[in-house]
Amino acid sequence: MTDIGFDGQVAIVTGAGHGLGRQHALALAARGARVVVNDLGGTVDGSGSDTGPAQQVADEISAAGGEAVADTSSEASQQGGEAIVRTAVDAFGRVDIVINNAGILRDKAFHNMEPDLMNPVFDVHLKGAFHVTQPAWVIMREKGYGRIISTSSAAGIFGNFGQTNYGAAKAGLVGFTRVL
């Protein structure tokens, strides 16, 4: 059996400052990928920002002999998604892999759910995947190669109390990724 390798490939991982995204970034780098570690560095509910988490993971990859750059753009806007992809192209000249992993939580029982709890979750999880994937997709189509991976959740398939917004965004992300 051969080892899985990504030598020479460039991966963008959103939400890579902590948790599953961090593990994606470290695993890709350990297998030879050059990684854009994207993380706004906000709190779990998406407020605030901090360059620390993305830079710490990029530094960890570099210390282990890999290549990585930190990016703190927000995938929640078209400009932010384009900036993330531009970081990859400026640093490494290409994009081969996008892992849409960024996420926030704004949990509330449905009868207490307000648009200000719904919209930011959609903006990060679902629209964020669109904003990052579309400019990367153009590059991937031109060269005839690319991989898109999106982190979803059982909450999007089975539901979970208090997560109408999160579950809907994650279910949408499944449909988005399947269509691609």
Chain segment 160-176, per-residue pLDDT in tens: 999 999 999 999 999 99
Q: Do the Cβ atoms of 37 and 58 come closer than 8 Å? A: yes
- Whether 145 sits among the annotated catalytic residues: the reply is no
3-state secondary structure the chain: CCCCCCCCCEEEEECCCCHHHHHHHHHHHHCCCEEEEECCCCCCCCCCCCCHHHHHHHHHHHHCCCEEEEECCCCCCHHHHHHHHHHHHHHHCCCCEEEECCCCCCCECHHHCCHHHHHHHHHHHHHHHHHHHHHHHHHHHHHCCCEEEECCCHHHHCCCCCEHHHHHHHHHHHHHHHHC
Q: What is the value of pTM for the model shown?
A: 0.95
| Residue 134 confidence (pLDDT) | 98
| Residue 1 confidence (pLDDT) | 45
Q: Are strands 97-100 and 10-14 parallel, antiparallel or unpaired?
A: parallel
Chain segment 143-158, per-residue pLDDT in tens: 999 999 999 999 999 9
How many angstroms separate the CA atoms of 15 and 129, rounded? 11
Over range 90-113, report the average pLDDT.
Answer: 96
Q: How many CB atoms lie within 10 A of CB 86?
A: 15
Q: Which of 36, 166, 167, 170 is catalytic?
A: 166
- In the chain, % of residues over pLDDT 70: 99
pLDDT of 19 strictly over 50: yes
| Residue 2 confidence (pLDDT) | 60
How many angstroms separate the CA atoms of 161 and 102, rounded? 21
How many angstroms separate the CA atoms of 88 and 91, rounded? 5
Question: Token pair for residue 63?
Answer: 């210390």
> What is the rounded average pLDDT for all residues in the chain?
95
Question: Token pair for residue 44?
Answer: 């779990």
pLDDT of 136 strictly over 90: yes
How many angstroms separate the CA atoms of 117 and 28, rounded? 33
Chain segment 39-62, per-residue pLDDT in tens: 999 888 888 888 999 999 999 999
